[in-house]
Amino acid sequence: MSVLWTADDFLAGTGGRLADCTAGAGLGAVTGISIDSRTLEPGDAFFAILGDSRDGHDFVAGALAKGAAVAVIDEAHAAQFDPAAGPLVIVPDVLEALRNLGQAARARSTARIIAITGSVGKTGTKEALRLSLSRSGRTHASAASYNNHWGVPLTLARMPADTEFGVFELGMNAPGEIAALVRQVRPQIAIVTTVEPVHLEFFGAIEKIADAKGEIVEGIEPGGCVLLNADNAQFDRLAGKARAAGIRIVSFGETAGSDVHLERVALHAECSCVSANVLGSEITYKFGAPGRHLVGNSLAVLGAVKLAGGDLALAAMALADMRAPKGRGARFKLHGKGGDITVIDESYNANPASMRAALGLLAQTEPGLRGRRIAVLGDMLELGEASETLHRELAGPLAEASVDLLFASGPHMKALYEAVPDLRRGRYAPESTGLVAALGDEVRAGDVVMVKGSLGSRMGPVVEALREQFAPAEAADA
């Protein structure tokens, strides 16, 4: 493993002190950063941060036993540990020490840094940008959806010194959170994928969501730019915030005159074929995951690649390898009654915009002979007083997608279930587990089943239940 932090740089970066007070004693090079002892690798530095339900100090001994290069602990717990068990760095606050190390990583870096936020599509856009920029140089990006107060400094602290392109995802649930994160990342380029009615329970109005997303311009480096979705109703509001901050605006979308402009698109069940003008460069490419909403985000990706100095042609070629991840549009086939069924796993999260996009994806997918389109939907959460209305309004997109059967769970999704015709009602249950048996009995050869809901509505177990009930199609063929 290559050295991520030397002992001296790690101590200086965290602002901590060794437990035995002898500089460098017992502390070797650090090859990785961990906050989870279950996934820790030998050579990692373990930060004992306080989580929502567990205190990382409870796992320090286990981390050192697994080969951690060092454990970072706070003053309040220092007396509990024997330095002989392994190197300990003591700090006033462990999460703050992680932030300090992240800032040290950013300060030493000469990489081109891109930060991504938006109501929908952050993680997919981040992954597409990681894939595209990797063809042009050493690229470092957020793991999974590490986009919060601990995920962003963790990603920064893990960034190697020789990184050429850095890609960071920024999320938020309240005003001020994006501003705090972007000041750590200090990107030269930022992307706002879109602004939609997400977290309405906390913000009350979509304009306030736009203002919170627009905080990303506050941390962009001088001379930097922000890519904004010209097709989104909040474009002018975001653009005004960028202009006030002196940040260059680069527009993307289907809107005439956009700097990164969609010219033609052919949507297919497994991919999309796109022609676009990217800041004056005409380019045609294949995007390996299906869905019109992903095409729009791919424009932002290619715009960011060109602005960052990456190879645009290589980046466009790389997008053919893009695949939807688990819970975010991943699809697989199972062997059902008399033949194969297709499952589209959108179970990771949901809001009105992503729900419409997922239904559009379901509409693009042709069922097999005598097969049907089946939507299995759980509650969209954090929508506040508008929740029932926003759920009921999905009846239109459901009909436009030619959905044959709706299986619904959760108190909010009941409004949609009652809004669809009787012949399209499959089953309603207060909780997702109540759908499993009826769904398993219903699906048959040729069906396309799309499962989606907010993470808290627990639609993932529905997908896993289908996997357990039916064999993979490949195994059945064998």
Task: Identify the pLDDT of residue 477.
Answer: 45
Q: What is the mean pLDDT of residues 263-286?
A: 96
The residue with tokens 């289907």 is 254
Domain residue extents for the chain: 7-92, 109-321, 330-477
299 pLDDT higher than 80: yes
Q: What is the largest CA-CA distance in the chain?
A: 75
Token duo for residue 101: 């190390």
Token duo for residue 60: 């320090």
329-374 per-position pLDDT tens digit: 999 999 977 899 999 999 999 999 999 999 999 999 999 999 999 9
Q: What is the mean pLDDT of residues 248-252?
A: 98
Residue 263 CB contacts under 8 Å (≥ 6 apart), including other chains:
275, 276, 277
> Does an H or E element contain 275, and which?
strand 272-278
- Would you say 226 and 252 are in contact if contact means Cβ atoms under 8 Å apart? no
CB-count burial class (<10 Å; 0-12, 13-18, 19+) for 438: middle
Q: What is the mean pLDDT of residues 390-394?
A: 97
Q: CA 451, 472, 126 angle in degrees (round to 5)?
A: 50
| CATH architecture assigned to 7-92 | 3-Layer(aba) Sandwich (3.40)
Distance, in Å, from the CA atom of 342 to the CA atom of 335, rounded to the nearest integer, reads 9
330-477: which CATH topology? Protein-Tyrosine Phosphatase; Chain A (3.90.190)
95 pLDDT higher than 90: yes
Residue 120 CB contacts under 8 Å (≥ 6 apart), including other chains:
193, 194, 196, 198, 293, 351, 353, 354, 357
Residue 474 pLDDT level (bands cut at 50, 70, 90): low
200 pLDDT higher than 90: no
408-466 per-position pLDDT tens digit: 999 999 999 999 999 999 999 999 999 999 999 999 999 999 999 999 999 999 999 99
Distance, in Å, from the CA atom of 140 to the CA atom of 155, rounded to the nearest integer, reads 9
Average pLDDT, the chain: 94
Distance, in Å, from the CA atom of 439 to the CA atom of 377, rounded to the nearest integer, reads 12
235 SS3 class: helix
The lowest-confidence range among 14-28, 107-121, 209-223, 262-276 is 14-28
Task: Identify the pLDDT of residue 18.
Answer: 92
Say whether 330-477 and 7-92 share the same fold. Answer: no
In CATH, what number does 109-321 get? 3.40.1190.10
**Helix 292-307 × helix 352-364 angle, to 10°:** 110
Q: pTM here?
A: 0.90
458 SS3 class: coil
Cα–Cα distance list, 292 to 163, 355, 419 (Å) = 32, 13, 26
In one letter, which amino acid is 269? A
Token duo for residue 384: 């506040």
Q: CA 432, 433, 438 angle in degrees (round to 5)?
A: 95
Q: What is the mean pLDDT of residues 183-196?
A: 97
